[in-house]
């Protein structure tokens, strides 16, 4: 049985996804970014994973808070972007 949060097309339809998606996105982004920045700044040696964990433990809560705070701005900008794409394609923008 598939989750009611995803339709066949992959769009989020469950309203609870608005609460969960930013947290998972922040988790993934903070893992990736803290790992890359730690590797670039300090190199990949024996102490890398300890430094990465330390950096990630700082980055994750900040990324999660930022994801929720930026959500209204991102939603607004996404809507404007889609309207612009529709206009460029000659389609009438959705309300």
Tens digit of pLDDT for each residue in 1-52? 455 555 544 556 788 888 898 999 999 999 999 999 999 999 999 999 999 9
Identify whether 26 is part of a domain: yes
Identify whether 45 is part of a domain: yes
Is the model's pTM score more than 0.85? no
**Residue of 12 and 86 predicted with greater confidence:** 86
Number of domains in the chain: 1
Tens digit of pLDDT for each residue in 43-64? 999 999 999 999 999 999 999 9
| Range of the structural domain that residue 31 is part of | 18-69
CA distance 80 to 95: 11
Helices 17-42 and 48-88: crossing angle in degrees, nearest 10, is 130
Structure tokens belonging to residue 47: 């102490």
Residue 79 — pLDDT band, cuts 50, 70, 90?
very high
Identify whether 75 is part of a domain: no
């Amino acid at each position: 049985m598939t989750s009611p949060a995803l339709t066949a097309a992959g769009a989020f339809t469950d309203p609870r996804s608005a609460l969960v998606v930013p947290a998972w996105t922040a988790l993934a982004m903070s893992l990736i970014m803290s790992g890359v920045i730690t590797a670039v700044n300090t190199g990949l040696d024996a102490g890398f994973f300890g430094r990465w964990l330390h950096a990630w433990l700082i980055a994750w809560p900040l990324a999660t808070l930022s994801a929720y705070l930026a959500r209204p701005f991102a939603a607004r900008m996404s809507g404007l972007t889609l309207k612009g794409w529709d206009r460029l394609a000659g389609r009438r923008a959705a309300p």
